Amino acid sequence: VTADRTSVVHPFGAGTLLQLIREGDGATRADLSALTGLARSTIAQRLEQLRSQGLLRELGESDSTGGRPPMMLAFNEDAGVALAADLGATHSRLAVTNLGGTVLAEDSADMPIAGGPETVLDWVDERFHALLREVGRDDDVVRGIGIGVPGPVEHATGRPRNPPIMPGWDGYPIPERFADRYRVPVLVDNDVNIMALGEHWTNWAAVDHLLFIKVGTGIGCGIVVAGRIHRGAEGAAGDIGHIRVAAGDEAESIVCSCGNVGCLEALAGGGAMAARLRDQGLDATDSRAVVELARAGEPAAVRLVRESGRLIGEVLAASVNLYNPSVIVIGGDVAQAHEQLLAGVREVVYQRSLPLATRHLRVVRSQLADRAGVIGAAVMVIEQVLSPAAIDAAIAAAPPGPRELAGAGN
Ligand SMILES: [Zn+2]
């Protein structure tokens, strides 16, 4: 189901030219010739291959100092669509995007992941189909499907691996579920990684090293290294929720879902905060209730959110020393809810990390907010299906066009 990654990329094939056009927000034939050293005739031939795939549009004539003005070529973002799903523990969001990552239609609903893969993916399939109809597109314009789930995933096969809050999903072949209707790549990753990807691609593309922290019911971290998601040897990188933070009698008494004591998530996650507010006699069933109480100015909730930020800051201070990111983005519903979380994180990170590592460090809130995951899922697809290898493979597999047939007869 996944695209063939073993195919050889031509050093300056059509796929590479498309990448240069996308990265530069357009180019002229002369630009491409100068960048690649290819003859103009070769450039023209490869551009024709891209045009036959519907991947190019002409922006009109660029500014010129005289003579016949050159044509600006740009990537046609409407050459297809991506289907994206951000499946959360209790709430899910779906979208159809164009190949520029722009959301064309979206939908969200309360859909417990614990309902199991059959129920949840039937719903996703049905809603994808409805969203495509909503934007007036057929199934055959879908270039790929991206799905984020709230648990660890074996990225190469798209199968969840021992996901603690996803009963019935362990080893489930998510990509195969969509193979009958769509013959396209289906990519699956955990929700924090896709949020990191969406935020990086949309707002921080020029930054090489970024950490994205999701603070919801649990706490997780997506790591962008040299512009790419770092998944680690077993796909478990960034699982900061189970790093031990401040010990003490109280911490020792709180047992985490993983069985250890003193875990960050068990002390500072939205679920943990709700439990502590209940202990104080407040009505807080889950992380959303914590958010509402904090927003309403309930002093106990505001204090707890600030303290949660400080605990997260402790783990991040160590991460900053270890990894030296340029940007830390804080997302997830608790982070969106109250500035005290960000304030607590900043307080400890700037105090405890080494000065050299924090000299240019920015700690910011997610700008995409609850759309980070679904946009990241689309980006995951777009980056794969528009990679030079995938484009060259698609061109090689396409039937010859009329011009090529005519040329072959000469
Ligand atoms: Zn734990």
With 80 as the cut, is the pLDDT of residue 337 above it? no
C-alpha of residue 224 to centroid of ligand 1, in Å: 23
What is residue 217's DSSP assignment?
A: S
- Helix, strand or coil for residue 98? strand
Amino acid 213 reads: I
> What does the pLDDT read at residue 410?
35
C-alpha of residue 369 to centroid of ligand 1, in Å: 26
What is residue 345's DSSP assignment?
A: H
C-alpha of residue 401 to centroid of ligand 1, in Å: 58
> What does the pLDDT read at residue 407?
44
129 contact partners, CB below 8 Å, separation of at least 6: 139, 181
C-alpha of residue 374 to centroid of ligand 1, in Å: 27
Q: CA 273, CA 51: separation in Å to the nearest integer?
A: 55
C-alpha of residue 159 to centroid of ligand 1, in Å: 23
For 186-229, write each residue's pLDDT tens digit. 999 999 999 999 999 999 999 999 999 999 888 999 999 999 99
Runs of H (alpha helix) within 227-298:
249-252, 264-268, 270-279, 287-295
C-alpha of residue 219 to centroid of ligand 1, in Å: 10
With 60 as the cut, is the pLDDT of residue 312 above it? yes
Tell me which residue has tokens 């340029």.
326
- Helix, strand or coil for residue 106? strand
With 50 as the cut, is the pLDDT of residue 1 above it? no
C-alpha of residue 265 to centroid of ligand 1, in Å: 6
With 70 as the cut, is the pLDDT of residue 402 above it? no
344 contact partners, CB below 8 Å, separation of at least 6: 305, 306, 307, 308, 309, 310, 311, 312, 313
* Angle subtended by helix axes 339-352 and 299-323, to nearest 10: 40
- Helix, strand or coil for residue 388? helix
212 φ/ψ angles, rounded to the nearest 5 degrees: -115, 120
> What does the pLDDT read at residue 68?
66
For 10-20, write each residue's pLDDT tens digit. 678 999 999 99
Mean pLDDT of 161-185: 93
With 50 as the cut, is the pLDDT of residue 305 above it? yes
- Helix, strand or coil for residue 223? strand
Q: CA 123, CA 87: separation in Å to the nearest integer?
A: 11
C-alpha of residue 38 to centroid of ligand 1, in Å: 55
What is residue 9's DSSP assignment?
A: P
- Split at pLDDT 50, 70, 90, the class of 6 is very low
Between the CA of residue 213 and those of 88, 238, 332, 333, what are the distances in Å?
Answer: 15, 9, 8, 11
Whole-prediction pTM: 0.90
C-alpha of residue 289 to centroid of ligand 1, in Å: 22
C-alpha of residue 291 to centroid of ligand 1, in Å: 22
353's tokens: 């990390």
409's tokens: 């007869």
16's tokens: 């590479």
- Split at pLDDT 50, 70, 90, the class of 373 is very high
What is residue 70's DSSP assignment?
A: P
With 80 as the cut, is the pLDDT of residue 4 above it? no
CA 22-107-103 angle, 5° bins: 15
With 80 as the cut, is the pLDDT of residue 65 above it? no
C-alpha of residue 315 to centroid of ligand 1, in Å: 14
C-alpha of residue 113 to centroid of ligand 1, in Å: 20
Pick the closest to residue 221 from 341, 312, 286, 354 (CA basis).
312
Neighbours of ion ligand 1 (CB under 5 A): 242, 256, 258, 260, 263
C-alpha of residue 244 to centroid of ligand 1, in Å: 8
> What does the pLDDT read at residue 62?
61
With 80 as the cut, is the pLDDT of residue 397 above it? yes
For 268-277, write each residue's pLDDT tens digit. 999 999 999 9
177 φ/ψ angles, rounded to the nearest 5 degrees: -60, -25
On whether the CB atoms of residues 238 and 223 are closer than 8 A, the answer is yes
Q: CA 220, CA 242: separation in Å to the nearest integer?
A: 9
Burial of 355 (0-12, 13-18, 19+ CB in 10 A): exposed
C-alpha of residue 258 to centroid of ligand 1, in Å: 4
On whether the CB atoms of residues 13 and 6 are closer than 8 A, the answer is no
CB atoms within 10 A of CB 261: 15
